[in-house]
Structure formats: structure tokens, C-alpha cells
Structure 1
């Protein structure tokens, strides 16, 4: 990830900034979609009290879990991809 003696290039810095911004935005979208899929029927249709409560609580419990898991997975994946596969080599043909 670091070029020229350990300093980041502008492109590497920009890529890290984009990934840091993408991770929470994409995670929030995924959590919202999951909440809508799980709790949506309880909000849209007149359901009995128990199923409605269960769906709402399940949606409220799963959404933050998905949010955190997605942020962590995106950032870990980005970190893993940005490291060179062969440390010390600067040219893939060397």
C-alpha cells in the first residue's frame, strides 16, 4: 500500500478515503434493506400483536449487527487487497 519508502501516494490516499466513506454508507443501506425486509410486513400489514412485535424486534436487533459486520468486512477486505502479495518486489515481472 505504501510506495516510495513508506509514504502513501495520492491515489492510495484517495482510495483509502473512498473505502472509508463507502463502508458506512453501504452498510447503512444494507441494514436499512434488511430492516425493511424483516420488519416491513409488521409496519405495512395489520398483523396480530405477537408476530408484529417479534418482527419489529428482530429487525431492530439484526440491522445493527449487519451494519457493523458490513463495515468491518469492507475495511478488512480493502486492507487485505492493498497489501502486496510479494513483499519487497516492486515490479510484478521481477
Structure 2
């Protein structure tokens, strides 16, 4: 099965604070190869996704490597995360 679904989707921030859900290894692979950069974490995520698609490792192992990449780039949406557009906005609104 080419799609290799994750048990639980990965959610990442894209653009100006828009969430994107990645449901499969293919989704994660497409995302990471489109990511601008060349970091060791990105290379590891690409290798892990390729290995999962080839059947050399399971989807959840590839997911773990991708999550490490996303966390390092500060784009991973953890459960209960506050959208970046509202973070630090502690001033009260005036009517």
C-alpha cells in the first residue's frame, strides 16, 4: 500500500500560521521535499520517508523522524497548541 497512513496524523504550521494535516508517509515526504532548506533533520526525514515507502521501515518510524524535523523547525503543532498569530498577544483590546 503506497499511502502508508499514520496511526495519528501530523499537524504542522505552513505559510502565515495556517495548519496543515499530514495523514500519510506520502504527505510527509511531499512536505519535506518541498521545504526550503538542507538541514540534517530535513535530510533524515527525507531518507526515513523514502525508506517507509520502499517498505524498509514502518510508517510510524518515519513519522517519528519527520516529527523531529518539524519540531526542530518549530512548525509542529503539538496538542493544545496556540496558533502563532495569537501567541504573545497579551494586550487587551480597546472598544
Common fold, TM-score beyond 0.5?
Answer: no
Larger Rg: 1
Q: Could you state the TM-score of these two structures normalised by the residue count of structure 1?
A: 0.30
**Structure with higher RCO (Cα < 8 A, 6+ apart):** 1
Relative to total residues, which structure has the larger strand share, 1 or 2?
Answer: 2
Relative to total residues, which structure has the larger helix share, 1 or 2?
Answer: 1
Q: Could you state the TM-score of these two structures normalised by the residue count of structure 2?
A: 0.30
